[in-house]
Structure 1
Amino acid sequence: MLTASYCAEELFADPPEPAVRIGLVTDLHYAAKPPAGTRHYRETPAKLAEAAKQFRRDRPDFLVELGDLIDAAESVELEQQYLATINEQFSGLCERRHYVLGNHCVDTLTKDEFLQAVGQPKSYDSFDFGGIHFVVLDSCFRSDGEPYGRKNFKWTDANLPAAELEWLDADLKANDKPTVVFAHQRLDEAGRHSVNNRAEVRAILESGGHVLAVFQGHSHHNDLNQINNIHYCTLAAMVEGSGAESNGYSVLEIDSRGTIRLTGFRRQESYRWPAVG
């Protein structure tokens, strides 16, 4: 049995069909190198293959990869090989995909090199699907506003720069749909895995009144916080632990009433949040 039990409200007896279904993975850290601590880099393709079977059953409308698709390499050429290998597998799972930049994605590569390789034009953006507004954030900027790339950063110095904050504020003010946000570094708790100016980001998310939830990775373990009516859900990393039982991935569903249901597999917890109002 792969599915974890729901740990929030009881399920409706007869829930409506989802308006949108999304496959979620995070922190794959693929690399052709030996394990380091609890991270088993070479096992990621097998774990992703298991997730692919579930996604083929559930037929998500699109996939979101929440950052750190690859691990760091000693050279640009080797990191590009890591990226080409794992993205060939990932891109075959679903035609429509969205990539959140993680700090390891641009440890040796530049953002443009990563984005070009995965076929995504922007590192942060928004789009509508199934009556829901989705926002993809990029927190891979130093406190001085410089973008990560070519080993020019400390991973604990994660920020949304002024231009992205302005864009986010304008984007949310122009939107009246229920909204879900995807991020890599955490926007809820304080700590080494968090965005430095997270309070400013949260104030913008709260100001529009339409943001339902934020899904994030980076700290590699399940966590859930609710701050001012927004759920901040941190997902389990795929790279952690050896063997199929240590895998982690999920399917996110949002129905026409605004109920959010996250079905987690293996180490990933499952949640359900009823519609507000």
Structure 2
Amino acid sequence: MPNGIAFKSGIARLDGIIMFSRRIGVGAILFVLMSPVVVTFAYDGHAGKVQPASVVASTFEFVRGPTVNLVTSESAMIFWRTSDPTNGTVEYGLSNESLSMSVVETSVITDHRLNLTGLSPHTTYYYRVVSNGTASDIYHFRTAPQAGEPFRLVVLGDNRPDSSSAPTQPSVFEEIIELVINEDPDIVVMTGDYIYSLSTSTSENLHTWALFTNITDRLGHYVPIYAVPGNHDVESWTGGYHPEYFLDAFELYDEPRTYSSFDYAGVHFVLLDTELHNQVGRVTGEQYEWLVEDLSNTTVPIKLVFGHEPLYPIKHIGSSLDRNETERDRLQALFESKNVTVYFAGHDHLYNRLTTNGVVHIITGGAGAPLYNSPWGGAYYHYAVVDVTSSSLNITAKRTTGAVIENYKLPYRGPIEIAIRGFANMSQKPAGTIPQLYFSEVPAVTYYSWDGAENSTVLTGLPNTKGQHTLDVYAQDDTGQWSHARFVFTSIVYTSSSTTSTATTSSTEVTTTSTGGSTTSSNTTSTAPPPTGQYDAVIIAGAIAMGVVVVVVVVVLTRRS
């Protein structure tokens, strides 16, 4: 792909120092200061877009684009923005030396959208745009393959700056965009949080978003980019809800609605808005009803759903789609009943995968925002490459170094995966707290054993004794194969005293190892039935030793305080 970007992306600005000579009169100074190089914008509430209202520039220029959008096997839409109202033309063809076809625009406008139709499936087309006698560089795109043919999807999200560097985009985000270009994807989906914040100033907000689209347009020249809004993108810290800037950055939606669906090469894509006004962290109301109808009306085998906030977060516990657990469980049940293949999210700045009851949940929030360090792994700048066929997905999470975080294939062929929701159980919990366990499919038989005691089909809470506790979990699939996972908990007893009373409570924290971004213990499989109440002397000795160490530490800390 060409290295040079000929268009100036973003909003025209006037920067620099004006130096005056004593020979210049006052009238000349006023003339210079009042010479218009002004860009003003207005928001058309009906369209849900930031619209250029008037532009007076000293020279004509391309403000943004061109980008390729809404690509199907037979069509594509080319978008670009100009400084002055003018008409435009898209010239295109099967080689960069023969742009023999064209589409001409008759309207005199600044935002140009021209549809190319009658295209051939999975074919590379070269194109450029021409406005006011000025031509862009030549770029290229590939139409979608026919249903059932393979294609490559890339998913990434949470590139936003941190507060200290906003609104400038992180350099690692630019690096990731170049890496994604080199992956040669057919389609890209982004999972939210593209800017740090909005303000009450329209010009500041336009500049903030221009710093983002300056970078994404380098990819958008060649590949259609789809996106869902994040909380940082539409919520103004000064109050209010402003989706218009997000809508202006992506040519996707039936505005002002910010959720939609489409089919690409026989795969159904659903883009949800988890940040709707007065419904932040929820999929409910009209959107949920729409989602039920949408998933009910598709018969394709692979269904991919995207939203900013995850159902099962690792860091934003209780402030994602789990803030209302009843609604979260309803959404999970819908995904299960409609055979959703994968739900992709961001919000947590890391990589994580959790499979529960046949639905894969992937958090990919590592495109540039400050990472969330986690003992369960996944705190990497990364993106996910998804190679899709008519009946399979090959998902590879890649770091910027090229190292593979995880490679996961669907359909999954293996024993039941047993996972624990790490962050929720790492916190200190009272005795009796029941760990949150998840199974990749519904087990035929499940057994639980605390500290090597008799197996039970009912999971009970942490034993009410200080020291280390071991939970063994056994799950049998429909073929008779057993999976086993062991989780180790530590119960710490805290004593607070006063002149009148002494209170003692037990708390827990979980120690596990991380595999592929999911928090689990070491997993084993076997066709043999699980043991029944056999104690492990090594585990008991280790538990006693750990308990002694913990008690000593607590006593020392208590005395120091």
TM-score (norm 2): 0.39
Q: Give the aligned residue type for 1:111.
A: P
Aligned residue in 1 for 2:259: 124
Q: Are 1:163 and 2:286 matched, yes or no?
A: yes
1:221–1:234 Cα contact (<8 Å) kept: yes
Instruction: Mark the CA change 1:60 to 1:188 in structure 2 (over 3 Å): closer, same or farther.
Output: same
Write out per-residue CA displacement over residues 125-168 of structure 1, whole angstroms, 9 at most, x where no aligned residue.
111112211111111135xxx36xxxxxxxxx511131111111
Instruction: Mark the CA change 1:76 to 1:120 in structure 2 (over 3 Å): closer, same or farther.
Output: farther
Unaligned stretches of 5+ in structure 2?
1-147, 372-378, 414-561
Q: 1:59 aligns with which of 181, 184, 193?
A: 184
User: Alpha-carbon deviation of 1:118?
Assistant: 2.8
Q: Name the CA distance, whole Å, in 2 between partners of 1:222 and 1:117.
A: 25
Q: 1:271 aligns with which of 407, 423, 427?
A: 407
User: Alpha-carbon deviation of 1:265?
Assistant: 1.9
Instruction: Mark the CA change 1:113 to 1:274 in structure 2 (over 3 Å): closer, same or farther.
Output: closer
1:141–1:161 Cα contact (<8 Å) kept: no
User: Alpha-carbon deviation of 1:50?
Assistant: 1.7
Q: Name the CA distance, whole Å, in 1 between partners of 2:260 and 2:224.
A: 15
Q: How do 1:252-271 residues align onto structure 2 when only pairs under 5 Å count?
A: 252-266=386-400, 269-271=405-407
Whichever structure has more helix as a proportion of its residues is 1
1:260–1:274 Cα contact (<8 Å) kept: yes
Structure 1's consecutive aligned runs of 4 or more residues displaced over 6 angstroms after TM superposition are none
Whichever structure has more strand as a proportion of its residues is 2
1:258–1:274 Cα contact (<8 Å) kept: yes
1:258–1:276 Cα contact (<8 Å) kept: no
User: Alpha-carbon deviation of 1:57?
Assistant: 2.1
Instruction: Mark the CA change 1:221 to 1:193 in structure 2 (over 3 Å): closer, same or farther.
Output: farther
Q: How do 1:1-277 residues align onto structure 2 when only pairs under 5 Å count?
A: 19-30=150-161, 34-35=164-165, 42=168, 44=170, 46-77=171-202, 78-94=204-220, 95-108=223-236, 110-121=242-253, 122-141=257-276, 146=278, 157-177=280-300, 178-189=302-313, 191-195=317-321, 196=324, 197-209=327-339, 211-237=340-366, 238-240=368-370, 247-266=381-400, 269-275=405-411
Instruction: Mark the CA change 1:98 to 1:87 in structure 2 (over 3 Å): closer, same or farther.
Output: same
Identical aligned pairs, as a percentage?
22
Work out which structure has the larger RCO, using CA pairs closer than 8 Å and 6 or more positions apart in sequence: 1
Instruction: Mark the CA change 1:226 to 1:43 in structure 2 (over 3 Å): closer, same or farther.
Output: same
User: Alpha-carbon deviation of 1:266?
Assistant: 3.4
Larger deviation, residues 261-270 vs 200-209:
261-270
Q: Name the CA distance, whole Å, in 1 between partners of 2:212 and 2:292.
A: 34
Q: Name the CA distance, whole Å, in 1 between partners of 2:389 and 2:201.
A: 43
Q: Name the CA distance, whole Å, in 2 between partners of 1:130 and 1:137.
A: 20
Unaligned stretches of 5+ in structure 1?
1-16, 148-156
Q: Name the CA distance, whole Å, in 2 between partners of 1:187 and 1:273.
A: 21
Greater C-alpha radius of gyration: 2
TM-score (norm 1): 0.76
User: Alpha-carbon deviation of 1:41?
Assistant: 6.7
Instruction: Mark the CA change 1:118 to 1:259 in structure 2 (over 3 Å): closer, same or farther.
Output: closer
Q: Give the aligned residue type for 1:204.
A: L
